Amino acid sequence: MHGSERGSGNLKMFGSLLRFFRERAGMTQEGLGGYVKYSKSQVAMVERGERPPKGSFVEIADEVLSAQGALLSAAKELKLSRFPSWFENYAALEAEAVAIYMYANHVIPGLLQTEAYGRATFDVHCPPLEDEEIEARLAARLDRQQVLNRKPAPIVGFVLEEHVLKRPLGGNQALKEQLRHILDIGTRRNVEIQVMPTDQEVHAGLDGPMILLETSEHQQIAYVEGPSNGYFISEQPDLGNMFARYGILRAQALTPAESAKLIDEVAGGL
């Protein structure tokens, strides 16, 4: 079991214990939130193991729920992660993967993001994130990029929608720096970046974004991410269909050289 899996499990265990004491006390999530200064939805996220308790949450909850130190003891076992709990298992696999392929249709992928662009994506997060959470998640995202520098280097491919390159998250200057960064990353021998032009009449990726991995054990696996969760696909025929779909996307997209020219033109116009 990966350490990240243990961390996610501990968060869920704490959340279950919190829910037990809250319900035993006859208190609603909204009621508990009033004591710990969390919204009802934030308390619910802690109970589901999707968000770690922060600040004086544990101390206050233990007292108002009459947990007699049980929540305090459970909190000591938490392995806090800079990633959302549902993303931890993917991050562990990505760090050791021998091949990574991504199709992105709404934002430039985290492995390609600059600090300014990455910060902008967290700044517009809904619901809003706390400042310390933004800093932690941004640092974790930038650390993930070390996989591109790993030796032996993994094979990495990206197919990006053209309109993603034109959305000025963080402002035009941040986007321009981001596009220049993509061009720089694209010169590496182990990285291939392609753009899917907006005027393409046929498109194999209309079902949405996807990430395909080949693990260090040479097992193929797909990962699909939603707004606040993600799931793996490892069974046939779904897995084979996704790899086939990505192959078609690569054929439909601009070549790496054509893509670099387009990205350079967009950056030059900012």
> CA separation (Å) from 62 to 30, 34, 39, 42, 123?
16, 14, 18, 17, 32
CB 40 within 8 A of CB 29: yes
Residue 254 pLDDT grade (very low, low, confident, very high; cuts 50, 70, 90): very high
Question: What's the CATH number of domain 85-268, 3.30.420, 3.30.870, 1.10.3470, 3.50.70?
Answer: 3.30.870
**Which residue did the predictor score with more confidence, 113 or 140?**
113
> CA separation (Å) from 267 to 35, 152, 160?
49, 32, 15
- Section 77-101 average pLDDT: 80
**Which residue did the predictor score with more confidence, 110 or 131?**
110
Residue 206 CB neighbour total at 10 angstroms: 8
Residue 10 pLDDT grade (very low, low, confident, very high; cuts 50, 70, 90): confident
Residue 211 pLDDT grade (very low, low, confident, very high; cuts 50, 70, 90): very high
Residue 8 pLDDT grade (very low, low, confident, very high; cuts 50, 70, 90): low
Residue 33 CB neighbour total at 10 angstroms: 18
For the chain, give the mean pLDDT: 91
Burial bucket for residue 207 (CB in 10 Å: 0-12, 13-18, 19+): exposed
CB 161 within 8 A of CB 198: yes
Residue 243 pLDDT: 97
pTM: 0.74
Note the CATH number of domain 3-75: 1.10.260.40
Location of each CATH 3.30.870 domain in the chain? 85-268
Residue 103 pLDDT: 98
Answer whether residue 164 shows pLDDT above 80: yes
**Which residue did the predictor score with more confidence, 228 or 82?**
228
**Which residue did the predictor score with more confidence, 128 or 123?**
123
Instruction: Read off the tokens for 22.
Output: 């809250």
Answer whether residue 79 shows pLDDT above 90: no
Residue 9 pLDDT grade (very low, low, confident, very high; cuts 50, 70, 90): low
Residue 7 pLDDT grade (very low, low, confident, very high; cuts 50, 70, 90): very low
Residue 3 pLDDT grade (very low, low, confident, very high; cuts 50, 70, 90): very low
Residue 1 pLDDT: 34
Answer whether residue 53 shows pLDDT above 50: yes
Residue 4 pLDDT: 38
Query: How is 115-141 classified by DSSP, letter by letter?
Result: HHHHHHHHHT-SSPPPHHHHHHHHHHH
Sheet harboring 191-196: ordered strands across?
191-196, 155-161, 99-104, 210-214, 220-225, 230-233
- Section 89-117 average pLDDT: 95
Answer whether residue 174 shows pLDDT above 80: yes
Location of each CATH 1.10.260.40 domain in the chain? 3-75
- Section 42-49 average pLDDT: 89
Residue 80 pLDDT: 53
> CA separation (Å) from 111 to 49, 51, 92, 138?
26, 23, 14, 12
Residue 6 pLDDT grade (very low, low, confident, very high; cuts 50, 70, 90): very low
Residue 108 pLDDT: 98
Closest CA relative to residue 189, chosen from 151, 244, 218: 151
